[in-house]
Amino acid sequence: SYAGVWFRGDVRLAANPAVAAASEVNSTERAIPALLLLCPEQMREHDWAPIKWDLLRRHLHEFVKDAAEHGIALSIEVIDSWANAAKAVKRFSQEHELTELHFNAEYPVHEQRRDLAVKAVLEDHDIAVHQHHGSLVVPPVITTQAGSMYQKFTPFAKAWREYVSEKGLPSIAALPQRQSVQVATIPEIDYPQRDSSAWDVGEAAAREALHRYLAENVDGYAAERDMPGLDTTSRLSPYWELGILSPWQAIHLMAQQSPNFPAGLDKGADTWLNELIWREFYLHLMQHVPRLSYGKAFLKHTDAMQWRNNEAEFDAWCRGETGYPIVDAGMRQLAAEGWMHNRVRMIVAHFLVKDLMIDWRWGERFFMQHLIDGSFAANNGGWQWSASTGTDAAPYFRVFNPTLQSEKVDPDGSYIRKWVKQLKDCPAKQIHAPTAWLKQRGRDDYPAPIVNHKQARERFLTAFKAL
Ligand code: FAD
């Protein structure tokens, strides 16, 4: 037997079951052939943010060296269409005379179809295909007693924890020593790039960031995670999304803190674990609810919603000029950093969908085009949760009041001041609704609110109730 690996959204060697399985098959005298396909057309279709591509591009410079050192003979190929993926994988497998190919599953419908096509083609040529679940701790197998997918997060999280208690942690073994091979060439591709250098790259650096976060910062997570001004969340999201880190690594570290893992963690770590479970929940949804991959609402009846879709208002939201400082601060952080704090993501999403009554898909797309951690599953889940078309356990009449949210999550206004320069001298008391303060100073460099929240709320509720 001779095994190869196809890397996709799992650009790492550690805690990668596809790599581990191939490594077990091949004797240590032989290299492990591996393939990574880049497809600019597909990236455009999936709205890859230029900053996300830049992070992957920079990471690849480390990854090719790591792979070579571990005897993984990587080829990086550019293909002009995903429709040609099966052909490229077949050619690669035949060239290396593989008898089996390993990869980690991806869950949206089109990726699953692609993988089925690859499997069919390879099996026709007597090459076995093995799919692993390396980007999830719990594979998408858990269902309710009635056999269906969990529709709500809380029972899902309970089942997730029970599964891990019963089955234990997935095992992470170090790769055996192999002779090093030649370092792969990274082909140039035609895709816009945006500087991602504020983020470290390479598996070692990402692992180090994870270690540091769990050792030094996670304790305060439960109390501070909703305060964007404190900025104390892990900022690890791009690493899970590109598969530079595996959630397996996170839970192994957490399990060292509690012998009864997943029970028995301190409050900070337990709350943080819950967020990793949210990530898994949305990936499971992708697998179980195919219509999500077609841009449809999770709650079918909400697809009938008549959105206002006012383009000028959408532009104001995108530019961070809605006159609601917390919303504008979030959108300006996204423009500047390619990342936004989770609480603010929820606030800006609520605002777009409920106050402006703009289709959540417009916001979902804009986020993907700008986020360094843009994830189809988490982004779609987050938008639908906020739009009340998804899995939020609260009813649709929960409409965030952007001013009250602002007072609550940014009480001293430090987050707003950081991102909305026009308000950098505005006192905390006025900063959440600064129109009067600006007027007193004869200033017109920051807009008045583009909607009246109270009226907008009524307008949304009337439309949504009619569904
Ligand atoms: P931490 O607070 O340190 O959390 C740890 C990890 O848990 C994160 O890195 C992330 O992988 C996961 N996580 C945390 N919150 C969530 C959540 N609500 N849903 C799913 N996973 C979560 N996350 C993305 O990774 N990509 C996206 O494209 C994305 N789009 C979003 C859009 C909207 C409208 C909303 C409301 C949320 C979105 N999220 C998305 C979830 C969340 O905002 C980010 O994962 C989080 O802000 C990343 O920062 P962090 O790494 O510091 O998170």
What's the pLDDT score for residue 397?
84
CB of 114 sitting under 6 A from ligand 1: no
pTM for the structure as a whole: 0.98
CB of 460 sitting under 6 A from ligand 1: no
Query: Is 278 tagged catalytic?
Result: yes
What's the pLDDT score for residue 202?
98
- Mutate which of 373, 398, 400, 409 to test ligand 1's pocket (most atoms within 8 Å of Cβ)? 373
Under CATH, domain 300-465 is a member of which superfamily? DNA Cyclobutane Dipyrimidine Photolyase, subunit A, domain 3 (1.10.579.10)
Q: Where are the domains of the chain?
A: 3-134, 136-171+203-288, 300-465
CA of 378 to the centre of ligand 1 (A): 7
Residues 34-63: tens digit of each pLDDT: 999 999 999 999 999 999 999 999 999 999
Q: Is 29 annotated as a binding residue?
A: no
CB of 41 sitting under 6 A from ligand 1: no
CB of 382 sitting under 6 A from ligand 1: yes
Let me know if domain 3-134 sits in CATH 3.40.50.720.
Answer: no
Query: Is 16 tagged catalytic?
Result: no
Ranges of residues in the chain with a pLDDT under 50 are: none
Residues 405-460: tens digit of each pLDDT: 999 999 999 999 999 999 999 999 999 999 999 999 999 999 999 999 999 999 99
Question: How far apart, in Å, do the first and last CA atoms of the chain sit?
Answer: 58
What's the pLDDT score for residue 52?
98
What's the pLDDT score for residue 160?
98
CA of 304 to the centre of ligand 1 (A): 28
Class of domain 136-171+203-288 (CATH, top level): mainly alpha
What's the pLDDT score for residue 398?
86
Please state the three-class secondary structure of 401-429 as a single string.
Answer: CHHHHHHHHCCCCHHHHHHCHHHCCCCHH
C-alpha dihedral (384, 386, 392, 398), degrees to nearest 10: -140
Cα-to-chain-centroid distance, residue 2: 34
Q: In the numeric block, which tokens belong to residue 353?
A: 């969908």
Residue 75 pairs in a beta bridge with 35
Sign of the C-alpha dihedral computed for residues 106, 108, 114 and 117 taken in this order: positive
How far apart CA 15 and CA 174 sit, in angstroms, is 8
Q: Using the atom order of ligand 1, give the atom closest to the CA of residue 363.
A: 34
In the chain, pLDDT over 90 holds for what percent of residues?
Answer: 97
CA of 330 to the centre of ligand 1 (A): 14
What's the pLDDT score for residue 157?
98
How far apart CA 136 and CA 19 sit, in angstroms, is 15
CB of 276 sitting under 6 A from ligand 1: yes
What's the pLDDT score for residue 137?
98
* Residue identifier of the C-alpha nearest atom 4 of ligand 1: 275
Beta carbons of 241 and 375 less than 8 angstroms apart: yes
CB of 274 sitting under 6 A from ligand 1: no
Same CATH topology for 136-171+203-288 and 300-465? Answer: no
